[in-house]
A and B are shown apart, each in its own frame.
Chain A
């Protein structure tokens, strides 16, 4: 058995090497298919970990309150509708311990975008109105200068803390602290610069200007509502209980009796995490399935070339039968050949897939993303098994054709 396998392998190898270009082109389908699956799984995992790790690092014990009842359907912002039900005094109500227990901090957000002007330079960026306890819920800190105080928030002080991208865009090498900027028609004084943090998910935290939330609402946008409220609980607090206490408080604030009438929605971090995981998983599986389809196309290429090979070697098959090869032995020989083809193709695909995934990770790092280079061993094993399976599945028909040839017909074949 061992000797027969060795001989069959060396024969399969010779058969493939006797037509290098053809073998390579045939393999290419499998190479591309396997590489695509590996790359998509790896990049998918990388992107997922990018989003989830960042969320986990600062999002533990976090509850997010959004305006509008978003339990059903897409968020209202996606439809171009602004919901104005969340107010600054809602945030104040949530920070009272007799309303919601175990709260460490409540941060109110009003987000908009605007053109910012300093001397002859202008730059369009995100204006993020927040409260003074911003750093309690965000994984961020001050690099230079200081953050604004509670008093400055309540008095709508004209002060701003800049992200590093905004500093680079507007000031270059000039020290921005103490400089005056124009946002819409307001003049604000730069009092601090945020430590560079990079992109988290799709959001660039360095490309924003933080201002007191009341200032952003009243002086820049002329509105009285909030974009969102983030509630940070004390470590290991019961998030479900906090969510229901927040809901009750807000219903009281908004004079709502039934849950169905809620004009806000409350999401614990775990909800958000689950949703994001579900969405990214779905996308990953979908993409991997698409890439897997190319493996089927590659398999058809294998079948095609194996049929050509069987025809070309009809006399050889006849001879083998004449000297005593059984149908089963001929079948195994051709199957081995197609499995060799797909296994070699699959291996090349795995190696190139890993290389390309690694390159993607390097590029992501250069673009300041926190990107993990993830190669899952199960995915590699599955890729190898799929390669073998394709060799068997698509090699079976040609191999059966070879094994069923009549020895006389095969020997006579010209």
Chain B
């Protein structure tokens, strides 16, 4: 284990300049997340939590301040280096799944492997992840032929296929019924138990309390950063072998 945090953000600001209309979304954020943590970033809509997640996930760059991801100062990395880091070290799970339409479950999960340097045994690796997540019987279904809960599990499988260090989940239960939502939280907790860092973005206290620690954002400022006292554990751990 490295002696530096996986995520280390110092005095981070984000300002949008939309045709002269200047909006500051994040103010002086300082945040450290160690490898293996399960952290919820909470805040109402418009608070800047998604922007923070995008920057932490290397999808966007800060306007000022420093961000070290796994020891790399991201200000010094090129777009292609960021793309490679996203591919190898980060997995994303989105509220709206973002699966490719008219594409099989297997091909969706293979997608990150296509952009990866290691292209060996892509089918086998994708199949293994899908079987572990309980979707071995859906490999050749098209992404629009499966249920919402299954879609989100496919998205999780896609996030996992390159064995990332951290998974960013942006409102992963937002479009799901409660039962499917619980399944997703179970999977995330099980992954965290195995050592994967999970960063969950949500506005729901119930969902956020599945984490070990909650960071609250309000109007672009980090207002609290506390461990969860009574952590919720999603029941029925039958979907992850």
Interfacial residues, chain A to chain B (CB-CB below 8 A) = 3-4, 7, 11, 14, 18, 315-316, 318-329, 406-408, 411
Q: Which of B84, B114, B158, B162 contacts A3 (CB 8 A)?
A: B114
- Residues in A with CB closer than 8 Å to B60 are 406-408
- Residues in A with CB closer than 8 Å to B88 are 324
Kindly state whether residue B122 has any CB partner on chain A within 8 Å.
yes
Kindly state whether residue B62 has any CB partner on chain A within 8 Å.
no
Is the CB–CB distance between A408 and B59 below 8 Å? yes
Kindly state whether residue B8 has any CB partner on chain A within 8 Å.
no
Min CB–CB distance A408 → chain B (angstroms): 5
- Residues in B with CB closer than 8 Å to A411 are 54, 59, 94, 98
19 pairs, CB–CB < 8 Å, chain A vs chain B: A11-B103, A14-B103, A319-B94, A322-B59, A322-B92, A322-B98, A323-B111, A323-B115, A323-B158, A324-B86, A324-B87, A324-B112, A324-B162, A325-B83, A326-B80, A326-B83, A327-B80, A406-B60, A411-B59
Residue of chain A at shortest CB distance from B97: A319
- Residues in B with CB closer than 8 Å to A325 are 83, 87, 115
Is the CB–CB distance between A324 and B116 below 8 Å? yes
Is the CB–CB distance between A324 and B102 below 8 Å? no
How many inter-chain contacts with C-beta < 8 Å in the A-B complex? 71
Indicate whether A408 sits within 8 Å of B54 (C-beta atoms), given known contacts A322-B86, A324-B84, A324-B86. Answer: yes
Kindly state whether residue B124 has any CB partner on chain A within 8 Å.
no
Nearest 3 CB-CB pairs, A to B? A324-B87, A324-B115, A319-B98
Min CB–CB distance B198 → chain A (angstroms): 17
Residue of chain A at shortest CB distance from B110: A7
Min CB–CB distance A277 → chain B (angstroms): 55
Is the CB–CB distance between A3 and B79 below 8 Å? no
A288 to B87, CA, bound (A): 49
Kindly state whether residue B172 has any CB partner on chain A within 8 Å.
no
Is the CB–CB distance between A329 and B98 below 8 Å? no
Indicate whether A327 sits within 8 Å of B79 (C-beta atoms), given known contacts A321-B59, A408-B60. Answer: yes
- Residues in A with CB closer than 8 Å to B114 are 3-4, 7
Q: How many residues of chain B get a CB closer than 8 Å to chain A's CBs?
A: 30
A208 to B211, CA, bound (A): 103
- Residues in A with CB closer than 8 Å to B122 are 3
Tell me which residues from 82 to 107 in chain B have a Cβ below 8 Å from any Cβ of chain A.
83-84, 86-88, 91-92, 94, 98, 100-103, 107
Is the CB–CB distance between A322 and B158 below 8 Å? no
A324 to B229, CA, bound (A): 36
Q: Which of A3, A14, A327 contacts B102 (CB 8 A)?
A: A14
Is the CB–CB distance between B100 and A316 below 8 Å? yes
- Residues in B with CB closer than 8 Å to A3 are 114, 119, 122
A40 to B201, CA, bound (A): 64
Residue of chain B at shortest CB distance from A7: B114
Min CB–CB distance A354 → chain B (angstroms): 34
A269 to B92, CA, bound (A): 79
Min CB–CB distance A259 → chain B (angstroms): 75
- Residues in B with CB closer than 8 Å to A321 are 59, 83, 86
Kindly state whether residue B43 has any CB partner on chain A within 8 Å.
no
Min CB–CB distance A80 → chain B (angstroms): 70
A316 to B102, CA, bound (A): 12
A254 to B194, CA, bound (A): 113
Residue of chain B at shortest CB distance from A5: B114
Min CB–CB distance A330 → chain B (angstroms): 10
Most buried by A among B87, B94, B103, B115: B115
Q: A318-B98, A325-B87, A327-B83 are in contact. List 9 more A-B contacts (CB 8 A).
A: A3-B122, A319-B98, A320-B111, A321-B86, A322-B59, A323-B91, A324-B87, A329-B115, A407-B60
Is the CB–CB distance between A407 and B59 below 8 Å? yes
A142 to B156, CA, bound (A): 90
Kindly state whether residue B57 has any CB partner on chain A within 8 Å.
yes
Q: Which of B57, B80, B84, B107 contacts A322 (CB 8 A)?
A: B57
- Residues in B with CB closer than 8 Å to A327 are 79-80, 83
Tell me which residues from 111 to 153 in chain B have a Cβ below 8 Å from any Cβ of chain A.
111-112, 114-116, 119, 122
Residue of chain B at shortest CB distance from A316: B100
Min CB–CB distance A246 → chain B (angstroms): 77
- Residues in B with CB closer than 8 Å to A323 are 86-87, 91-92, 111-112, 115, 158
A356 to B233, CA, bound (A): 72
Residue of chain B at shortest CB distance from A327: B79
- Residues in B with CB closer than 8 Å to A14 are 102-103
- Residues in B with CB closer than 8 Å to A407 are 59-60
Min CB–CB distance A409 → chain B (angstroms): 9
A324 to B101, CA, bound (A): 19
A319 to B115, CA, bound (A): 12
Most buried by A among B59, B88, B101, B103: B59
- Residues in B with CB closer than 8 Å to A4 are 114, 119
- Residues in B with CB closer than 8 Å to A329 are 115
Residue of chain B at shortest CB distance from A6: B114
Tell me which residues from 16 to 44 in chain B have a Cβ below 8 Å from any Cβ of chain A.
none
Residue of chain A at shortest CB distance from B78: A326
Min CB–CB distance A180 → chain B (angstroms): 83
Residue of chain B at shortest CB distance from A324: B87
Most buried by B among A14, A325, A326, A328: A326
Indicate whether A7 sits within 8 Å of B115 (C-beta atoms), given known contacts A315-B98, A408-B54. Answer: no
- Residues in A with CB closer than 8 Å to B92 are 322-323
Residue of chain A at shortest CB distance from B81: A326
Residue of chain B at shortest CB distance from A17: B102
Interface string of B47-79 (1 = CB under 8 A from A): 000000010010110000000000000000001
Residue of chain B at shortest CB distance from A319: B98
Is the CB–CB distance between B102 and A326 below 8 Å? no
A327 to B81, CA, bound (A): 11
